[in-house]
Structure 1
Amino acid sequence: MYNCFPSHPGPRALVLLLAGALASLAHAADPQGADFADLSIEELANIQVTSVSKKPERLLDAPASVFVITADDIRRSGAATLPEALRLAPNLQVAQVNGAGYAITARGLNGGGNSAPNKLLVLIDGRSVYTPLFSGVFWDVQDVLLEDIERIEVVSGPGGTLWGVNAVNGVINITTRSAQETQGSLAVLRGANNGGDIAFRQGGRMEDGSWRAYGKAQGRSHTELASGAPVDDAWHSGQVGFRADWERGADRFSLNGNVNRGKFEQPRPGTIAVSGTNPGLATVDTEGVNFTGGWQHALQDGGKVDVQFYYDYTRREVPPTFTESLDIVDLQVQHTLPAIGRHSLAWGANARHSWDRVQGSEYVAFLPERLSQTWLSLFAQDEIALMPTLRATLGARVERNDYTGTEFLPSARLSWSAAPEHAFWTAVSRTVRAPSRIDADTYIPGRPPYVLAGGEGVRSEVAKVFELGYRGQPLPRLSYSATLFYSDYDHLRTQELAPSRTAVSFANLSEGHVFGLEMWGSFQATKSWRLSGGLTTMRERFALKEGSNDAGSLLRAGFDPAHSLQLRSTWSIDAARELEVAVRKVAALDIGEVPSYTALDARFGWRLRPNLELSVAGMNLNGSHAEYGGIATRSEVPRTVAVKLVWQN
């Protein structure tokens, strides 16, 4: 399936590929070097971000722990999928579970406590891709053409005031380029020892605007266990879509849509996870359609109005357990007022409705099978200039959901510009994860009559978060960011045994806290050579409340590494050639006995012509490793070597 190299490349194949790349590098090296093709340190500090205040502001001024992944970062890394690109953010935990599955979070709680990761909000061009089935993300179906991404803003920490419930530990905001920036033709061909990708894009102009259309297909072969036995997790998927942007006077419009389809192998319940003649193989079928429309109107007084609407349909068939069909409509309105004295005020409203249909089985059921839900919210945020160098940001959101009623999500932030290149900030926030269908409506048949009997009366999980941060440029060639955080969690989900000892149900009888440090920086060693790195470290403590008998929920901390470190060297050899080498080191996980690992990645890119680029990328060049899961069933993340050709005109 899309294999362009043997399934298991030997050392000789790897050596030949890398030697060829190094030979080209040596032949092309310019001893004088060239200006760095990426953004300068000063330009990085001035990148415009929108995820912190829902309006453009300089990264240096944003009072939050936010890391920006640029389009150049993604291209230079050699990432082939969206989760691989997210590894570039040092404030994220990205763990590959199997061939297409990932566990991704910020600041811990990456599983455990009878839950998949469910406290991270992910947006693609303003469209939320979390599922109300379990408040998490099916990463195997989140796909974009990586060449179309403008930037990815990764905010670690709460974002409930602006983005609503489920933005507890962070927000990932993926923004694609406007159609005007993607004119002409693009073709991408990538082949690797574990699969391949092919993609195209065509852009053009129309009256008052521009458009683009694209398509892509990709596939991967199965992974392996530590024993070398193959795992049933091969997959392939395809996606097509379009985007249009146009302007008329004070109005700007955008419209985009995507259609996707995929097949993902996995073992059936109760069977071993190896392929071949295994009768337990199941194929997960997925499909989806989404449309997003946006309108921005500039007011004469300096304010503006933003309106966004989207429709999202997804279907997921997981034999023999369940099949879900989900329709979501969402409408968001925001009014940004012109400055009134020292105040800059923005307010808005959001209405969201879903129609969920889940066909259960003998393994699991969601009751009722058909359920409609509505979320309504209203928010306001005021940025106050207390002094020329001191700003306070006060905000709150009131959001209603069908399970717990009205939730209150306030936040307060204070930022101080000690000097033009130095900013200190602090924040305190309250946010929640509202219950999902898996919390309240899950039933596992058994005797008598259920083994798991839902979660009637479940409530929201609550987080109170305190942060202290610095972002600045201590030296002309050095940028640096650091954040201390403390998160106090209450009403975390537990699985309680009934007094009859014949069934269990979900409740909220656990609490805990997470204390940690995030920091990263970049150093421009020469005009053509940049070094960057990041470190995250944290400690987690959880406890049961009176009346709980769920000792298993205390293990949730075991799914998170105590620390992770990454170092990256980016060398722009000349205007046509570049080399990037990266090292990631991640501490061990207590659950599943996942050992610590070090991963070495490298990419050499060569622009053969102004419109043609060839690159060779290697991931995990020092060998395969596990990142998540039990010792008997976990996949080893393999060593891969890929060749990629990008043509554009």
Structure 2
Amino acid sequence: MMKKLTLPLMTLLLAGAAQAQSMDYGAIAQLFGEPGTASATGSPQRATDVPANMVIVTADEIRRSGARDIPGVLRHVGGVDVLQWANDDYDVSGRGYNQAYSARTLVLVDGRQVYADSFGFTPWSALPVELSTISQIEIVKGPNAALFGFNAVSGVINIITKNPRYGKYYSLVGRYGSQSLREGSIATSFAIGDQSYLRLSAGHRSDKPFGTANPLPVDGSPNRSNERTAFNGDAVFALPRDIELEINASHSDAKQTEVSGGYSLQTSQYSTASLLGRISADTSLGLFKATAYTNWFDWSRAVGPVNISPKLSNTVSVFQIEDLFSLAADHTIRLAGEYRHNEIRTRDRGEGWIAFDAGSASAMWNWQILSNLSSTVALRFDSIAYDNVLAKTAPSRVGPSLHVNEWNFNTGLVWNVDNADTVRFLAARGVQLPNLVQVWDAAVGKGPGGVGKPPLGLVPSTVNNFEILWNHRFEMLDARLQTAIFHQDTYDVLSIGSGTFDAPGTGTAPANIGSSHADGLEMELNGRLNEAWRWQVSYRFETIKDRYVRTLGRTDVVSYQNTTPQHVLKAGLGWDFERISTDLYMNFQSQSGGMRRVGTKRVLVPVGAFTALDARIAYRLTDHISLALSGQNLFDDVQQQTSGPNVERQFFLTLSLQG
């Protein structure tokens, strides 16, 4: 049954709701009787009341998924596309438009950007997050830059970890499996005195790449093993006068076989580090928050017949400030500003750098028009100035400048028709900036623009999205339905999604090649039966039409209308009996295609319809110790899911101690 909010309870929650990471999510779930969020507007909301299309995956659902990494969890979520190129190598997007080094999804961990600005994609193995430390994952579909931040083009993956201030816990996990998998992680959260709290986590994983045949060209020598090591520390201090200080530090190293943005198989090594400080205060002028963080990202790989290892270092520093306040009982305002400096150094075999400085301002207005009707309007303005010194030419020179000014917006009208039905009308615009590697390629002049000219007239890609959602509760069946109809237009499509290290020659630089248009229907239904059974079904139908200017070249690199499956069906079934828990997940997608590199060109190859099956069976040895056997891609020994190497069936045994 839907729980009603009382004013004292809402006031109590808002006292700490400067942003999602300051919230006690256990209290929100208890209040609503279901998972909630404060990410979109700063105020606690059910997912069905958010002025965006949001799905929340809880910690319990993460555990039941049987997955050993975040993409393994996301592949079970309706409307989310996951390409598994290799063991440990994934690309994730929302509503199709996926590709190698996918650059259309903003990924956050506790409000900190974790995707790599250099290529614009997310190396999932390099994320310094253990599954046992995650409170919930919020998946937001469609452009949401005005609500969630910089470069949120076609979706947001918002990973929220457990705040050490709201409870002690410990976790010790060991995992052993096929492909020589060996994995261990440890996490603990505890108080230091009365007002200080600390969370520490660390993990290590090693496994072997799949042994299936590789249809792609190989850059460098074969990789014999994948490795991942990560550490994360989070400290929270409750200071006088309702002030909270948070300090977070993380580090990770990863080596993996992967498919590059140029559709070749390579071995990449990643090293990341971050340092974050955040202060939140409940003041007479509202809930104030200031955040500053720096991400360090290093990448290298072996390429070519002489095995030269190019290296790339990316540093991004961000400062954010915001204030959430109410002008009246029915009006909530959030004002925010942001500055970021982003740079990469050392490209291929030459020295040089390219950087941008960005200033952003945003405003959000939430108006409770009636008791059952609310509107949200959010605007964001970004001003970005690029600067570079190029050393791939002789002598080194200052490359052409590029300045970008762009608006993003999100609007949502939420109508709670009755206790069972909610209807939402959404419209949004998001902007995808050329990543730094793309701007570098353009500035060097590999493509039609030539050396010394403006960077090929390179401009950001814009995404407009229009959507209607209907949510219905079947009280008698303990089930929930969400239906969404959407239309999406992408203009100035970037020909190379994330930048590549290609053979030199005309046409290898990125360019804006035209537009792409999508129409789709999504349906998601889930519920419980007799407390012991749980089930979920989702279906997506989507058609995409690309309209490219073929004379610009590099249109062979992207073909969204052919690489996005029209039909995707997902289902899950779970059963609990005393100490036994079982879960089964099915993912079907219709025939589509994929890009494959042949020489300096890309060709479209068919990817047949397939059904992937994942499963988990667990037994609780004690209240705190459990043993689980999980499997992925269980239908066949090997299976084609992409244009890259086939994936293999996987099994792993997990022993966990948690409390």
SS of corresponding position for 1:543? strand
Which residue of 1 is the match for residue 97 of structure 2? 109
**2:442 maps to 1:436:** no
The aligned residue for residue 598 of structure 2 is none
Whether the aligned pair in 2 keeps the contact of 1:462 and 1:490 (CA below 8 Å) is yes
Residue of structure 2 equivalent to 1:478: 479
The structure-2 alpha-carbon separation of the partners of 1:236 and 1:57, relative to structure 1 and needing over 3 Å to count, comes to same
For 2:556, the equivalent position in structure 1 comes to 552
User: AA paired with 2:542?
Assistant: M
AA matched with 2:172: A
SS at match of 1:435: coil
> Hey, what's the Cα distance between the residues in 2 that align with 1:350 and 1:272?
37
Shift of 1:475: 2.8
- Which of the numbers 300, 311, 331 marks the counterpart of 1:317? 300
Q: Determine whether 1:488 maps to 2:498.
A: no
The Cα of 1:624 is off from its aligned counterpart by 4.1
- Normalising by the residue count of structure 1, what TM-score does the alignment of the two structures yield? 0.83
Say whether 1:298 aligns with 2:282.
yes
- Confirm whether residue 580 of structure 1 aligns to residue 583 of structure 2: yes
Relative to structure 1, the CA distance from residue 647 to residue 253 in structure 2 (aligned partners, 3 Å threshold; closer, same or farther) is same
TM-align CA RMSD: 3.3
Summarize the alignment of residues 151-230 of structure 1 with structure 2, pairs less than 5 Å apart. Answer: 151-180=136-165, 183=168, 185-194=170-179, 195-207=181-193, 208-225=195-212
Equivalent pair of 2:249/2:275 in contact (CA under 8 Å): yes
Bigger mean CA offset, 343-352 vs 449-458: 449-458
One-letter amino acid of the structure 2 residue matched with residue 142 of structure 1: L
1:396-447 per-residue CA deviation (whole Å, 9 max, x = no partner) reads 1111112442111122211111012321011111221112223221179999
- CA contact 1:148–1:182 (8 Å) conserved in 2: no
Structure 1 pair 270/243, CA: closer, same or farther in 2 (3 Å)?
A: closer
Distance 1:532 1:233, change over 3 A: farther
Q: Which runs of 5+ in 2 are unaligned?
A: 1-25, 303-307, 386-401, 497-504, 595-604
Q: 1:550 to 1:502 in 2, by over 3 A?
A: closer
Residues 454-507 of structure 1: CA distance to partner in whole angstroms, max 9, x if unpaired?
943200111111110012313341111111110011111248xxxxx9555432
Between the aligned partners of 2:33 and 2:407, the Cα distance in structure 1 is 33
Q: Aligned with 2:300: secondary structure?
A: strand
Could you tell me how far apart the structure 2 residues matched to 1:216 and 1:452 are?
47
Q: What is the correspondence of 1:559-570 to structure 2 with a 5 Å cutoff?
A: 559-570=563-574
Distance 1:190 1:454, change over 3 A: farther
Residue 378 (structure 1) aligns with: 361
CA contact (8 A) 2:534 2:574 kept: yes
Q: Could you tell me the percent identity over the aligned residues?
A: 20
Q: Secondary structure at the match of 2:510?
A: strand
From 226, 233, 241, the equivalent of 1:235 is 226
Partners of 1:202 and 1:270 lie apart in 2 by: 41
Aligned to 1:49: 37
> Aligned in 2, Cα 1:506/1:170: closer, same or farther, shift over 3 Å?
same
Q: Answer whether contact 1:515 1:538 (CA < 8 A) is retained.
A: yes
Distance 1:624 1:180 in 2: 45
Amino acid in the other structure paired with 2:620: R
TM-superposed deviation, 1:330: 1.0
Deviations 1:339-388 (A, max 9, x none): 51532111111111123212313xxx7xx821232121110011112222
Residues 1:390 and 2:403 are matched in the alignment: no
Q: What's the counterpart of residue 128 of structure 1?
A: 113
Question: Which of 282, 304, 316 is 1:328 aligned to?
Answer: 316
For residues 217-244 of structure 1, give each alpha carbon's deviation from its aligned partner in whole angstroms, at most 9, with x where no partner exists. Answer: 0012120325899974731111122112
- Decide whether aligned partners of structure 1 residues 639 and 43 sit closer, same or farther in structure 2, where only a CA change above 3 A counts: farther
Q: Name the CA shift for 1:144/1:537 in 2 (closer, same or farther; >3 Å).
A: same
Q: Which residue of 2 aligns with 1:616?
A: 629
1:461 correspondence with 2:461: yes
User: Does the residue aligned with 1:97 lie in a helix, a strand or coil?
Assistant: strand
Distance in 1 (alpha carbons) for counterparts of 2:89 and 2:38: 29
- TM-score normalised by the chain length of structure 2: 0.82
* Shift in Å, 1:325: 1.0
Q: Does 1:405 align with 2:404?
A: yes
Structure 1 residues 436 and 149, CA gap change in structure 2 (3 angstroms): same
Q: 1:475 to 1:42 in 2, by over 3 A?
A: farther
- Return the alpha-carbon distance in structure 2 between the equivalents of residues 545 and 45 of structure 1: 51
The 8 Å contact of residues 153 and 173 in structure 1, kept in 2 or not, is answered as yes
Deviates more, 1:79-88 or 1:198-207: 198-207
Q: Does 1:597 align with 2:580?
A: no
Greater Cα offset, 75-84 or 162-171: 162-171
C-alpha distance in structure 2 between counterparts of 1:568 and 1:44, whole Å = 24
Q: 1:61 to 1:46 in 2, by over 3 A?
A: farther
Note if 1:263 corresponds to 2:250.
no
C-alpha separation between the residues in 1 aligned to 2:427 and 2:543?
19
Q: How far did 1:583 drift?
A: 1.2
The answer to whether structure 1 residue 426 and structure 2 residue 413 are counterparts is: no
Cα 1:266–1:563 change in 2 (3 A) is closer
**1:135–1:436 CA contact under 8 A, matched in 2:** yes
CA contact (8 A) 2:85 2:259 kept: no
Q: Is the 8 A contact 1:296 1:306 kept in 2?
A: yes
Partners of 1:160 and 1:270 lie apart in 2 by 27
Q: Report 1 or 2 for greater relative contact order, CA contacts < 8 Å, sequence distance ≥ 6.
A: 1
